[in-house]
Chains A and B, each alone.
Chain A
């Protein structure tokens, strides 16, 4: 509504009337309607402000200055028509002082009031002669004006046709006014209601109450200062008859002089009407139009014939505005705005050219993610074009490139490229393909322009085309892989220190060191849990106890007697062994396996010799420890000769094993040996063999349970009784398996902290749950003959060494198949082992070398163990029987490694 209101230019005639107001000061007191005059006055003032410049079309000149200010607020209206733009120009003129919309509202209201004022004025004119007391109908209407403007407007709408003559359109009236300036002047001089307040200040402030309420008083109301307005004595009511008669004479005389006096009851004074007013009153009384200037019967104009558009009222703007012939300021403004926005970057050319519908899309797309979404697709594109695009022909193979021309092809080649006579002659004889430049002969020209056409160009082009056509080409697809990337990323060995690197100590038996003639291979090694002592078992049945620190041999026990004695008891078993025992009976009982009790307080070792497993008290413990060890060994040492100890006689283990105490014999032997040797016996506990477990077949392996009470022996040939579990504190044995399954058991080993037993046959490893008495897992090693086995301290990883040179790592959580199979050694593996503390692993082989691996096992189940070969230790020579390093064992607390070889040496390798 607001713009529509603003559309209408303010009526210019009002301005003119104001100008004329100066000329007719006498009109002021006529306008005695306070309220209407006040409202009209206020509106008139506002109109004055807004339309101080009468030239509407010149508003643009001012607008130019304000363009930039209005850009943002009026951006939305960019697409409006020119008319609206003009309106904006005017409105911006209104808003010169930064007026807000609220001000616009005010202006609108004032516009409304404008119309109202006009109406009221006409009413006033009509009721000019009405008594000062308001008629009731007018009272009602006035209240409506005060209370509600809308109501007023409606009444305006209804009353307007009555007032304006004969339902004529207002615009027509305006046209008339413009056509007849004199009429308009008079009309609006009448219409004018002064907005001046009463200058003298004596004007009655009675308000809109009937005057007869003051009939009984001597005053009529109060003036602005609160003083009573005394009724004029000159008024006719108070005059005596004589005076009235005189006045009547005067009036009569006045009327002759065209003087007509009216008594203003409100202000209690006489008002002399002007001749003009009298004329108006007469016209009203006669029922004519009030204004004498009004032409009630104008000349008829042929509006609707449509013949002459210039005359036709439909085409009111017959004269094209000046703006039509000027460059469009709106366009200029728009261009300026767009330039500004382009500069700012809020739009770009894509947006202007319509490629992008929304600038937001463009802003969101710096990475080109939304590119495909906005791509227009051809709705009516033919299918045949798609097929052409997607046609799968042979892959395009670019032709081999022609080598770029060299210096010789220059028009002015260096001298060395120019052939001399001999060369030319030689070239002519040659086949063109053999010549250095083919058909081309380098020539020197003075300038490029004197170079003629190349004579052989067609021929050469043809030949090249022929070549390209005839020579089959094929794409060579190269495998573009860096061979280095195929090698697994292993950390450097130097970063994985410490690990054993250097030979430090050699353990030499002082009694046998001199006899270099025949060396006795050392078969097995074991270290005490605190790392102080080392025990080795050699081929001749002697178990030696060494001090790690100094390399001193502290003890030695010859078990060959026990081994041979065990062998001699059972005649039938001896048959197989006789062949190899022929040459030397004393050395025919090798120590197959030796194992130190893992419990620190139990100072005893277990050795396998022949058919026997021998429990040896080392005597290295202190007083407390030796008492504990004594208590542990008491049951075993009290066994009677040949009795089954605590084994139930009917159990199947009873047939397989017999416990024999050797304390009596052992004491004798140790005392004699200690007397003979310079090596002094020490320790308070007894040392020497305590008990012998005699089985039916050769014992290959012995292993302790981690608590140091139970141990397992394996005698591979014994069939079902191959694996036997013994309890030392009770001197009892049991045979866990009723029958042998899957071949001969070679090795057995306890899980570090779970009741599991690992039993290795030649090709597989079976994991048994000892409490549930069932097989949990069967590991397929892929080896032919397993020679050694070790379980990681975490219990989840097992390494297996085999005689077919393989080292196999099993991750028990992963699969039954090997996690890794390493084949580093040149000969059979004899021993493998984990370090109990450091992430190390080693394997000893018959090639005399020991390979040390960094083997990190992560507690994180998602990470596979890291196996890095770090060092090859070479310390053992290969004997004639092609035996090398036979055993290795890690030091329990240091990154050191002990190794024993077939050459009889025992070495300590340490990290340097």
Chain B
């Protein structure tokens, strides 16, 4: 309230004065977030750090407009600022939505209340870090309706993807592998602008007789040209197999789906007596081998050594035939595997290196993690999440439990942050939880923090994946059919998009690539989002 009664002699000035007096101002200084690394981008976005005064109740959008204005870009705010409309000329660059960090938390409230909540002093200029906001996921393409639900998927961007359907494209990185409820493993190459938003399976192979529970892929480190990938799938029918994805480099010109192939590589038997709940693959850089970890519904955890992916002469055909026969015999009635065995006669049968009972119930999430003490590049621990509400850290070499965390909810999916031991888990109670799995944390006595994000989902959260590039961003899918993108610096999701076409269908799996998110669910359609 103005202390002075409105006077009559200043007709045109008094509203201005009133406005200036009534709206409290906060002084802020913009700092470009150090997370933006590229120098050209920094040059383009850097602002002078001189404090400026803004209205206290300004929000993210207003601040974004201010920054755009300072950067001399177009300000496309739908507010009633007509003067900005005037200087809207072609020379200016388009506006960029910015996001702001206050005290390492995303600004979601009005600035003054956020400052109050953080307990910052308004005497000095408030430092706001800004960076271009993550754009909402946009549907880039979707596949045709597949025969059955898509229950598991993984995206591997190291693999040089096949040309796919787009003939004129240059080689595009990344392959998406999906596992269906019909037990079929399919590979997709990312959709491009030329493919008219249509995702085509480049190849498929029937791997299991039951729904695939889990799927993961890796580029074996023995392979230098990154044209092959290893795909491990575990199914409800208690089988665990790996396939080799190959892209024949000679036939890039001919836009042919047959240029890629999925071959049965190895069958892993003897480790599990129940449905496979989760798998994880690891390239062991020390000895050049690849490790496969798998967990089953009984809580059994097995570690396997993946046989080399290169075709070896040491395996004679008779032996492999016998193996195949043996494999077929054991999987009675598994007719779907016939074509696979035809194409690739060298099928290994692998016995587990170690097999222990790690949990009392379904191991639903597995990830290789770094040991907190050693900063080696090779992960040395195995993180497990289970339906018995617990998370455990196992040392791979010794296979003993280093850390055991007890939660209160079932873990349905587990994913480790690409550059730290922070783990995100999803739970049936609509929650995504974050765990600090550092085992050397004497500070909190070995009990990891359970910092849960907001219960934004409306149903069972089925899957969670970190962004491979941004350590703050993760994506989750839920049975409510939505895909949510989160920034862990905020308790609210960044974006929510529909992942299924029909209401009532469930989104069951998610894969996160560099700027791409895939999701699949019970609508039998793979969707690709640009992010």
Chain A interface residues (CB < 8 Å from chain B): 498, 502, 504-505, 530-532, 547, 549-552, 554, 622-625, 678, 680-684, 893-894, 910-912
A550-B151, A552-B149, A680-B336 given; name 4 further pairs at CB < 8 Å.
A680-B182, A681-B209, A683-B237, A910-B429
Q: B residues 330-357 with Cβ under 8 Å of A?
A: 330-333, 336
- Given A504-B428, A532-B297, A893-B387, answer yes or no on A683-B210 (Cβ-Cβ < 8 Å): yes
Residues of B214-252 contacting chain A, CB below 8 A: 235-238
Report yes or no: B183 in contact with A623, Cβ–Cβ below 8 A: no
Contact B460 A625 (CB under 8 A): no
Q: Is the CB of B298 within 8 A of A552?
A: no
Given the interface pairs A622-B273, A683-B209, A893-B388, the reply to whether A530 lies near B298 with Cβ below 8 Å is yes
For residue B410, which residues in chain A have a CB less than 8 angstroms away from its CB? 894
A684 and B330 contacting across the interface, CB-CB below 8 Å: yes
User: Number of B residues contacting the other chain (C-beta, 8 Å)?
Assistant: 46
Q: Are A622 and B479 in contact (CB under 8 A)?
A: no
Give the nearest-CB partner of A671 in chain B: B333
- Is A682 a contact of B273 with CB atoms below 8 Å? no
Q: Across the interface, do B237 and A682 meet the contact criterion of CB distance under 8 Å? A: yes
Q: Does B147 contact A (CB under 8 A)?
A: yes
- Interchain CA distance A122-B120 in the complex, whole Å: 119
Q: Is B508 an interface residue (CB 8 A)?
A: yes
**Do the beta carbons of A625 and B273 come within 8 Å of each other?**
yes
Bound complex: CA of A682 vs CA of B336, how far in Å?
A: 11
Give the residues in chain A near B479, CB-CB below 8 Å: 504-505, 551
Asked whether, in the complex, the Cβ of A680 is within 8 Å of the Cβ of B183, the reply is yes
Q: Is the pair B147, A678 in contact by a Cβ cutoff of 8 Å?
A: yes
B270 to chain A, nearest CB (A): 10
Decide if A681 touches B333 in the complex (CB within 8 Å): yes
Residues from chain A with a CB closer than 8 A to the CB of B235 are 682
Verify B459–A504 contact, CB threshold 8 A.
yes
A623 nearest in chain B by CB position: B330
Q: Is the CB of B210 within 8 A of A505?
A: no
Q: How far is the CB of A54 from chain B (nearest CB, A)?
A: 94
Describe B's contact surface by its main secondary structure.
loop
- B272 contacts chain A at the CB level, 8 A cutoff: yes
Query: Contact partner of A684 among B211, B332, B387, CB < 8 A?
Result: B332
Contacts of B412 in A (CB 8 A): 549
Query: Known contacts A547-B236, A684-B330, A912-B429: does B275 contact A532 (CB below 8 Å)?
Result: yes
Sample (18) of A-B pairs whose CB atoms are under 8 Å apart: A504-B479, A505-B459, A532-B297, A550-B211, A551-B506, A622-B238, A622-B272, A623-B238, A678-B147, A682-B183, A684-B237, A684-B330, A684-B331, A893-B361, A893-B387, A910-B429, A911-B409, A911-B429
| Residues in chain B near residue A554, CB distance under 8 A | 210-211, 236
**What B residues does A683 contact at CB under 8 A?**
209-210, 237-238
Q: Are B332 and A530 in contact (CB under 8 A)?
A: no
**Once bound together, how far apart are the Cα atoms of A624 and B209, in whole Å?**
17
Output the nearest chain B residue to A894 by Cβ-Cβ distance.
B410
How distant is the Cα of A622 from the Cα of B297 in the complex, in angstroms? 11
Q: How far is the CA of A683 from the CA of B275 in the complex (A)?
A: 10
Residue of B nearest to A498 (CB): B408
A680-B209, A684-B330 are known contacts. Are A530 and B297 too (CB-CB below 8 A)? yes
Q: How many angstroms between the C-alpha atoms of A911 and B181 in the bound complex?
A: 27
- Docked-complex contact A530 and B274, CB < 8 angstroms: yes
B387 pairs with A894, CB closer than 8 A: yes
Q: Which residues of B contact A678 (CB under 8 A)?
A: 147-148, 182
Residues in B with CB closer than 8 Å to A549 are: 412
**Cα A893 to Cα B211 with chains together (Å):** 23
Q: A622-B274, A680-B210 are in contact. Are A530 and B361 (CB under 8 A)?
A: yes
- Write out the residue numbers on chain A whose beta carbons fall within 8 Å of the beta carbon of B273: 622-625
* Nearest-neighbor residue (CB-CB) of B430 within chain A: A912
Rounded to whole angstroms, the CA-CA distance of A554 and B298 in the bound complex is 20
Nearest-CB distance from B386 to chain A (Å)? 11
- Asked whether A531 lies within 8 Å of B332 as measured between CB atoms, the reply is no
Q: Does B477 contact A (CB under 8 A)?
A: no
Does B208 lie at the interface of the complex (its beta carbon under 8 Å from any beta carbon of A)? Answer: yes
Measured between alpha carbons, how far is A547 from B235 in the docked complex, in Å? 13
For B297, give the chain A residue with the smallest CB separation. Answer: A532
Give the contacts of B383-432 with A (CB-CB under 8 A): 387-388, 408-410, 412, 428-430
A426 to B336, CA, bound (A): 113
**Cβ contacts B160-198/A at 8 Å (1 or 0 each):** 000000000000000000000111000000000000000
Contact A547 B332 (CB under 8 A): no
Residues on A with beta carbons closer than 8 Å to the beta carbon of B336:
680
Cα A32 to Cα B209 with chains together (Å) = 145
Lowest 4 CB-CB distances: which A-B pairs, in order? Answer: A682-B210, A682-B237, A682-B209, A912-B429
Residues of B within 8 A of A547 (CB): 211, 236
Docked pose: A504 CA to B236 CA in angstroms: 21
Interface residue? B140 (CB, 8 A): no
**A498: B residues at CB distance < 8 A:** 408
B129 CB–A CB distance under 8 Å: no
B362 interface residue per 8 A CB criterion? yes
Distance, CA A684 to CA B429, complexed state (A): 34
Q: Kindly provide the distance from the CB of A617 to the nearest chain B CB, expressed in whole angstroms.
A: 14
Q: Give the chain B neighbours of A623 by CB distance below 8 A.
A: 238, 273, 330
Chain B, residues 123-155, CB within 8 Å of chain A (1/0): the string is 000000000000000000000000111010000
B307 to chain A, nearest CB (A): 22
Chain A residue with Cβ nearest B462 = A550
Q: In the complex, A549→B412 CA distance in Å? A: 9
The distance in angstroms between the C-alpha atoms of A531 and B364, with both chains bound, is 14
Chain B residues, Cβ within 8 Å of A531: 361, 387
Residue among B181, B238, B330, B412 with max Cβ neighbours from chain A (10 Å) = B238
Evaluate contact between A504 and B460: CB separation under 8 angstroms: yes
Report B421 CB to chain A, min CB distance, Å: 27
The smallest C-beta distance from B380 to any residue of chain A, in angstroms, reads: 30
Docked Cα-Cα span, A549 to B213, in Å, equals 10
Q: Which residue in chain A gives the minimum CB-CB distance to B269?
A: A623
Closest chain B CB from A908 CB (angstroms): 9
CA distance A532 to B274 in the complex (A): 10
Q: Which residues of A contact B182 (CB under 8 A)?
A: 678, 680
Q: Is the CB of A550 within 8 A of B183?
A: no
Mask: chain B, 246-286; 1 = CB below 8 Å from A; 0 = not: 00000000000000000000000000111100000000000
* A550–B522 CA distance with the chains assembled, in angstroms: 9
Shortest Cβ distance from A625 into B: residue: B273
Closest Cβ of chain A to B365, distance in Å, is 13
Give the contacting residue for B460; candidates A505, A622, A680; CB below 8 A.
A505
**Residue of A with least CB distance to B521:** A550
Chain B residues, CB < 8 A from A680: 148, 181-183, 209-211, 336
| A505, A530, A624, A682, most chain B CB atoms within 10 A | A682
* Docked CA distance A622–B522 (Å): 26
Cα distance A872–B312 in the bound complex, in angstroms: 63
Q: How far is the CB of B412 from chain A (nearest CB, A)?
A: 8
Contacts of B455 in A (CB 8 A): 912
Q: Output the nearest chain A residue to B182 by Cβ-Cβ distance.
A: A680
Q: Give A67 to B455 CA distance when docked, in angstroms.
A: 91
Q: Which residue of A lies closest to B208 (CB)?
A: A682
Q: B147: which A residues are within 8 A, CB to CB?
A: 678
For the complex, give the distance between the alpha carbons of A547 and B181 in Å: 11
Q: How far is the CA of A748 from the CA of B504 in the complex (A)?
A: 40
Which residues on the A side are within 8 Å of B330 (C-beta)?
623, 684
Write out the residue numbers on chain B whose beta carbons fall within 8 Å of the beta carbon of A893: 360-361, 387-388
Give, as a whole number of angstroms, the nearest-CB distance from A669 to chain B. 15
- B520 to chain A: closest CB distance in Å? 12
By a CB distance below 8 angstroms, the chain A residues around B506 are: 550-551
A624 to B147, CA, bound (A): 31
Instruction: A530 to B299: give the CA distance in the assembly, Å.
Output: 11
Task: Determine the distance from Cα of A547 to Cα of B149 in the docked complex, in whole angstroms.
Answer: 13
Contact among B181, B209, B409 for A552, CB-based, below 8 A: B181
With A504-B460, A532-B297, A682-B235: A552-B211 Cβ-Cβ less than 8 Å: yes
In Å, the complex CA distance between A905 and B17 comes to 65
Measured CA separation A624–B429 after assembly (Å): 34
Which of B148, B236, B362, B408 meets A682, CB within 8 Å? B236
Query: Min CB distance, B274 to chain A, in Å?
Result: 6
